[in-house]
Amino acid sequence: MNNLADQIARFRNMAQEDPENDLAHYRLGQFLLEDGQAEEAAKCFRRTLEITPEFSTAFKFLGESLLKLDRKAEAIEVFTKGWSVADDRGDRVPRDAMAKHLEQLGAPVPKKQAAAPADDDGPGTGFRCERPGCMEGKRARQLDKPPVPDAIGLRIHQEICSACWTLWLKDLSVKVVNELRLDLSSEGGQGEYDKNMREFFGFEQDAK
């Protein structure tokens, strides 16, 4: 829909307007990395992790940015920490990608640690939210039904907690539409909206 420079400008504006928007910094970093601006991309991914320390895919992209800058020791450190975060969360795709990077760099891949006792009080709801960076923990509650009647709605129902869905629907989706000036009646506008939604929920690997 838009060229790379447009996407960078729009997400930069979104990040500046809302400095606590982890998705804006994350998406800006992705576009900067694609544009060959690895130094600036690394700053965006670091900011993403300052806001949401459990955003496991941000570790992956931060490490890849550092590799582009030939900062291998830093990249190994990031991939090692990111592997543990992803493993703790059950984020298999970014965990396995970081393990592959570590192997290629000749660095040891961490071993799975015994699960630490949860900090949350009570037995929990029994539902685990799969969104990178979800802070609900044992409090996470499943949606009563799929929020939209299609395959992505079914996946959201199965993997995403009600709090994360509400955060997207009532806050971040509005910012995406407004900041990117999306026309949801057009195929391109709807496609960009869906892409950002998948990024937020951590589904982007399957979309590639």
Domains within the chain, CATH numbers bracketed: 1-115 (1.25.40.10), 122-208 (1.10.3880.10)
pLDDT at residue number 159? 92
pLDDT at 83 over 70: yes
Length of the chain: 208
Provide mean pLDDT across the span 167-185. 84
Mean pLDDT for all residues in the chain: 87
Can you spell out the DSSP letters for 183-206? -TTSHHHHHHHHHHHHHHHT-HHH
Kindly tell me if the per-residue pLDDT of 110 is higher than 60.
yes
State the pLDDT at residue 178.
82
Q: Check: CB of residue 86 under 8 Å from CB of residue 95.
A: yes
Mean pLDDT along residues 20-43 = 93
Q: What is the pLDDT of residue 122?
A: 53
Q: Is the pTM of this model over 0.85?
A: no
Q: What is the DSSP string of 113-156?
A: PPPPPPSSSSS--S----STT---GGG--B-SS-SSSSHHHHHH
SS3 at position 26: helix
Residue 116 has pLDDT above 60, yes or no: no
Residue of 202 and 165 predicted with greater confidence: 165
Whole-angstrom Cα Rg for the chain: 17
Please enumerate in sequence order all residues whose Cβ is within 8 A of that of 75, keeping only pairs 6 or more positions apart, or say none: 63, 64, 66, 67, 101, 105
pLDDT at 171: 82
- Taking residue 157's Cβ as centre, other Cβ atoms within 10 Å add up to 17
* Cα 78 to Cα 207: distance, rounded to the nearest angstrom: 25
Would you tell me how many other CB atoms lie within 10 Å of the CB of residue 104? 9
